[in-house]
Amino acid sequence: MMDKKVALVFLPSDSGVDGARSLYDEGAAFGPARWFNGTVRNLIKKTQFAIPPLALMILASVEVPGVEQSICDLRFEPFPFERSWDLAGISVQTGMAGKAFDLAGRIRARGIPVVLGGPHVTMFPESCRPHADALVLGEADDLWKEVLADLSAGSLKREYRAAQPPDLSLPRPVGKASLKKSRYFTTNLVQTGRGCPWRCDFCNVHVLNGHVLRQRRIDDLVGEVARFREDDRRIFFFVDDSINADPAFALELFDRLTPLGIRWFGQATTTLGQQPRLLDAFARSGCQALLVGIESIEPSSRDAHRKTQNRTGELAGNIKAIRQSGISLYGSFIYGLDGDTLSTPAAILDFIAETRLDVPGINLLRPNPGTKVFERLREEGRLLFDPDDLASFRYTFGQEMLYRPKNIPLPDFIESYSELTRKVFNMRNAFMRGMAAPSIKPAVMLFNLFYAHLYSLSRHDLQRQLDGLQA
């Protein structure tokens, strides 16, 4: 009997590092501007900051006799309708749901069953049910084997629900055979655990993965890194939201990884700056860059959104300590939180100048459906889109306001946000930051250059949105 063929589908977001584009008619740009936008977009794609979807890598590593799985990354190719499939599994993010449902409809119209899973399906199953033959609710690590076995037996169920989150201490080796390596910036993606003990109100990580940190075994992780390194010598990305959430675990892990001589980047909290032994282990094990979520330097905003795990007064010192250890920092801010005022941008600019952050990210708050902040904004009547139209809360790169800020009228907010991004991102700053970066200088410069382009799209689109709202 022929193997059953399964397509695991990843959809591109409307805009972002994978393919920045204006949300509005590209025809708005003419001549050189249009050419420039297209060239930069291709450059961003070609320089391959794209990374593979780890969730689908994990599913593709589940082996069931008689089933063959492929990852279809639609950032690079349209869905391969010309091949014959027995099942398509689509990972659905909120904001991408409309696109996912549309694709599911086109696949099902050809008689191919579709399974939907991912964060949106877990949080809003009823809105997904009409678009799928089966739903996977919760973390799919254990469930996927059941789905594939049922496919093989011709007895697919309507729903697969995890009774409890998977025990990550059980060995589940991740494979990369289904990836086209050359497409990606790196294929060395590793997750050491899931769950977050914190409860920031704009984040759905703790909603989806729980408040208890579940970790993989350090032996398994070291083995995985060694195996991945054989196959791809490029940089590693530890995708955990806070790689230093459990300092003792991180210390043992990176001490043991040091002899492997890898280079890596990851995401951490700034408290790392006060953990000298761990910071040293990060640097010695090859850490090149970290993303830190600063979110806000306004104490009232941090309190309003329950971002309480590191104190405002300690942020700058911590950032300086991390940079001094030779690690470059991407610092992510959110402007427009509930304690922010029109004087916040000046404070952000001062903070960036003082800490010499290598790549600042100046984000807009995204009230994702399913988060506490979404419910609060809905109750306060501050959402700019119909709260029941979940698909309208799409991901963009600072290109669309989804709500009205608390203390600042919307037009003034958009003007001040645009002014802030204009001051933070320009050619001169990109060059200076690249030169001053403690590590990976060319990447820091390139990132800042890309951001100069991405934030120009943000300014253009926000103005278009405002014009529409005021019309």
Phi, psi of 314 (to 5 degrees): -100, -10
Give the nearest distance from C-beta 108 to ligand SF4 in angstroms.
Answer: 34
302 binds ligand SF4 (CB under 6 A): no
Give the integer Cα–Cα distance in Å for 195 and 214: 6
Mapped onto helix, strand or coil, the DSSP state of residue 444 is helix
Pick between residue 372 and residue 460 the one whose CB is nearest to ligand SF4.
372
Name the helix (H) or strand (E) containing 422.
helix 410-424
Residue 327: both structure tokens together = 């690690």
Site residues for ligand SF4, 179-198, by CB under 6 A, read 196, 198
Pick between residue 149 and residue 207 the one whose CB is nearest to ligand SF4.
207
Site residues for ligand SF4, 371-410, by CB under 6 A, read none
Residue 205: both structure tokens together = 């990580």
Give the integer Cα–Cα distance in Å for 195 and 211: 5
- Please, are residues 429 and 415 in contact by the beta-carbon 8 Å criterion? no
Pick between residue 120 and residue 131 the one whose CB is nearest to ligand SF4.
120
Residue from 206, 433, 453, 459 touching ligand SF4 (CB under 6 A): that is: 206
Give the nearest distance from C-beta 363 to ligand SF4 in angstroms.
Answer: 12
200 binds ligand SF4 (CB under 6 A): yes
Give the integer Cα–Cα distance in Å for 292 and 445: 18
Cα-based distances in Å from 426 to 32, 197, 445: 18, 37, 11
- Please, are residues 228 and 262 in contact by the beta-carbon 8 Å criterion? no
321 binds ligand SF4 (CB under 6 A): no
Tell which phi-psi region holds residue 95, choosing left (phi > 0), alpha (psi between -120 and 50) or beta: left
- Strands of 188-190's sheet in order across: 188-190, 236-238, 264-268, 287-295, 328-335, 359-364
Residue from 73, 141, 142, 241 touching ligand SF4 (CB under 6 A): that is: 241
Pick between residue 131 and residue 366 the one whose CB is nearest to ligand SF4.
366
205 binds ligand SF4 (CB under 6 A): yes
Closest CA to 270 of 305, 299, 297, 294: 294
Give the nearest distance from C-beta 197 to ligand SF4 in angstroms.
Answer: 7
Give the nearest distance from C-beta 112 to ligand SF4 in angstroms.
Answer: 35
201 binds ligand SF4 (CB under 6 A): no
Pick between residue 206 and residue 394 the one whose CB is nearest to ligand SF4.
206
Give the nearest distance from C-beta 266 to ligand SF4 in angstroms.
Answer: 13
Residues lying near ligand SF4 in the complex (CB under 6 A) are found at: 196, 198-200, 203, 205-206, 241-242, 293, 309
